């Protein structure tokens, strides 16, 4: 039963931890090469995965690779192990069936109720939610036969994720590309989080609408500080974590404004409808945009990587390279750019809030050094910045930037640990939004 005093963050953490059993179906499409990333993300989030591949899928990706990454043998045909009546066993085991990629042929077979291989037989038998992530050429996706299949499958309650637009196999590009693994996994897991697909205890632990009627401002991406008309100082932030936070806040019923610096349009296009997006390219633009929209905000989450410094002067014309007088090209004349400090937006929100009582959340991407580990530096920063929450993550080659899973320790303004979490950026976002909602709601 749901305890009346259970906080949104406790509920989010429970939902985050609950391991689920996911059948990953793979159909015959070149996009099958992306499925190991889908499986890896699911397993990293703690879920158990069983792969069911069609015969044609195995022409694109080998069963040993799928077995290695899922940790279980890969099944294909209904006659692989007749004694086990595998299609029934797998269908009953599944709490979610996720097919990625789903080919045009697979959609047609599922629509027709065919059961001519283990994957279609499992889909026909299971009572678990079914999510299909199609990948195919634009013409196949737009063909009336496929359109009709998708409509019917959706009417029957299956989830068909719209494909992305972009580079396809060969030279062409257009609609039909398999969405990025992180998007597929977060869509699929969002379905598992719906109350009707939860175990009773997990269902009662789910967060719903805890930011209803609230305004949440999120910053995302990385600022670029101009040097001259063609050059800038920038950073590697993709904006994925900020977009995930915006989506997680919207999921909780908040009105969301995203202030974004150089976030890729595919990420912005994938935001839930209703998220207001404002572009801010430099730290100065972001300062003004954030403070303006934060005037009626209940919470501001600074996920953007804001440049700490900017060039003191911006050259009006392109700075010319100085001719080298050194013949071996190993070195030449040096040049320097004088930098000046940017305002710290986060600190400004804490010391001079645009609205009294608003909750301020920051991020700290840290590396350990001789003085202390990541957490030591995070705690020092938390005490200095005094935000209500500071999410500290370790920045390494494979952690923290771009399309990779994330791990954070959340500290309060005194540098004490409040929570920790790991998983996809959407999982981290849900945890942080849960914690933010607790503070906004005063629990
Ligand atoms: O000090 P550091 O840059 O590591 O702090 C990171 C946090 O501070 C992030 O939440 C970032 O959005 C915010 N920040 C800011 N303004 C700056 C630099 C960082 O708001 N000029």
For the chain, the distance separating the N- and C-terminal CA atoms, rounded to the nearest angstrom, is: 19
- Both tokens assigned to 209: 């609408």
**pLDDT tens digits for range 179-194:** 888 878 877 877 776 6
Give the atom of ligand 1 at the shortest distance from the alpha carbon of 308.
Answer: 21
DSSP state of 85: T
Write out pLDDT tens, residues 74-114.
Answer: 988 877 777 777 878 999 999 999 999 999 999 999 999 99
Round to whole Å and give the CA distance between 429 and 142.
34
- Ligand 1 atom with minimal separation from the 387 CA: 10
Give me the CATH number covering residue 248: 3.40.50.10300
pLDDT at 437 over 90: yes
137 and 183 share a domain? yes
Residue at token pair 């990293």: 44
In a domain, 74, yes or no: yes
More confident residue, 314 or 329: 314
Identify whether 241 is part of a domain.
yes
Would residue 206 count as lying in a domain? no
Q: Residue 201's pLDDT is what?
A: 42
Please report whether residue 209 resides in a domain: no
Q: Phi/psi class of residue 138: alpha, beta or left (left: φ > 0; alpha: ψ in -120 to 50)? A: alpha
Best substitution site from 261, 282, 306, 342 to test ligand 1's pocket, by max atoms within 8 Å of Cβ? 306
Burial (CB < 10 A; 0-12, 13-18, 19+), residue 143, is: middle
CA distance 131 to 199: 19
| Residue 346 CA, closest ligand 1 atom number | 20
> How many angstroms separate the alpha carbon of residue 221 from the centre of ligand 1?
12
When divided into structural domains, the chain yields a total of: 2
**235 catalytically annotated:** yes
CA of 283 to the centre of ligand 1 (A): 10
Tens of pLDDT, residues 65-82: 999 999 999 988 877 777
Q: Is residue 83 in some structural domain?
A: yes
Q: Is residue 410 part of a domain?
A: yes
Compute the distance from residue 252 Cα to the ligand 1 centre, in Å.
25
Give the pLDDT confidence score for residue 399 in this predicted structure.
47
In a domain, 316, yes or no: no
**Segments forming the whole domain that contains residue 299:** 215-309+338-440
**Residue range 131-184, pLDDT digits in tens:** 999 999 999 999 999 999 999 999 999 999 888 887 777 777 788 999 888 878
Q: How far apart are CA 156 and CA 208, in angstroms?
A: 25
CA distance 189 to 201: 17
Helix residue ranges per DSSP H, 197-264: 200-205, 240-251
46: closest CA among 12, 15, 14, 17? Answer: 17
Q: Which of 235, 342, 393, 406 is catalytic?
A: 235
The verdict on 237 and 287 lying in the same domain is: yes
Q: Tell me: do 160 and 237 sit in the same domain.
A: no
pLDDT of residue 421: 84
Ramachandran angles phi, psi of 37, nearest 5°: -70, -35
Distance from the alpha carbon of residue 300 to the mean position of ligand 1, in angstroms:
13
Please state the rounded mean pLDDT for residues 304-325.
91
Work out the pLDDT band at 5, boundaries 50, 70, 90.
low
Q: What is the pLDDT of residue 328?
A: 61
pLDDT of residue 349: 98
177: β partners:
164
Residues 128 and 43 in one domain: yes
**Collapsed DSSP state (helix, strand, coil) of residue 218:** strand
Q: Do 410 and 416 meet the contact criterion of CB atoms below 8 Å apart?
A: no
- The token pair at 379 is 């705690």
Is this structure's pTM higher than 0.75? no
What average pLDDT does this structure show over 280-298?
A: 97
- Bond from prior residue into 101 cis (ω within 30 degrees of 0): yes
Task: Say whether both 182 and 258 belong to one domain.
Answer: no
């Amino acid at each position: 039963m749901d305890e009346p005093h259970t906080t949104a963050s406790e509920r989010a953490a429970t939902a985050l931890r609950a391991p689920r059993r996911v059948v990953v179906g793979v159909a015959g499409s070149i996009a099958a090469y992306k499925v190991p990333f889908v499986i890896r993300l699911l397993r990293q989030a703690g879920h158990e995965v069983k792969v069911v591949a069609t015969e044609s899928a195995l022409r694109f990706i080998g069963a040993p690779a799928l077995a290695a990454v899922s940790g279980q043998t890969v099944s294909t045909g209904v006659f692989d192990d007749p004694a086990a009546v595998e299609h029934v066993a797998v269908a009953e085991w599944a709490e979610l069936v996720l097919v990625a990629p789903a080919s045009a042929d697979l959609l047609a077979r599922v629509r027709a109720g065919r059961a001519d291989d283990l994957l279609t037989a499992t889909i026909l038998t299971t009572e678990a939610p079914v999510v299909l992530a199609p990948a195919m050429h634009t013409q196949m996706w737009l063909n009336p036969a496929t359109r009709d299949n998708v409509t019917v499958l959706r009417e029957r309650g299956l989830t068909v994720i719209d494909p992305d637009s972009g580079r396809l196999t060969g030279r062409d590009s257009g609609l039909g590309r398999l969405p990025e693994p992180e998007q597929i996994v977060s869509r699929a897991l969002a379905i598992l989080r719906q109350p009707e697909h939860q175990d009773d205890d997990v269902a009662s632990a789910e967060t719903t609408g805890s930011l209803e009627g609230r305004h949440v401002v999120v910053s995302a991406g990385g600022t670029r500080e101009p040097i001259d008309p063609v050059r800038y100082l920038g950073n590697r932030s993709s904006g994925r974590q900020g977009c995930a936070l915006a989506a997680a806040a919207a999921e909780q019923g908040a009105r969301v404004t995203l202030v974004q610096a150089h976030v890729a349009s595919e990420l912005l296009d994938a935001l839930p409808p209703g998220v207001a997006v404002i572009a801010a390219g430099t730290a100065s633009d972001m300062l003004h945009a954030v403070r303006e929209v934060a005037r009626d905000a209940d919470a501001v989450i600074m996920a953007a990587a804001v440049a700490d410094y900017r060039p003191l002067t911006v050259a009006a014309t392109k700075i010319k390279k100085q001719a080298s007088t050194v013949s071996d090209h190993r070195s030449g004349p040096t040049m320097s750019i004088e930098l000046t400090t940017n305002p710290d937006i986060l600190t400004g929100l804490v010391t001079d809030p645009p609205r009294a009582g608003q909750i301020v959340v920051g991020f700290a991407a840290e590396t350990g050094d001789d003085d202390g580990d990541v957490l030591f530096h995070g705690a020092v920063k938390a005490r200095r910045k005094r935000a209500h929450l500071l999410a500290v993550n370790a920045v390494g080659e494979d952690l923290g930037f771009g399309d990779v899973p994330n791990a954070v320790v959340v500290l309060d303004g005194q540098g004490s640990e409040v929570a920790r979490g790991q998983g996809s950026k959407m999982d981290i976002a849900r945890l942080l939004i849960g914690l933010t909602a607790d503070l906004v709601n005063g629990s």
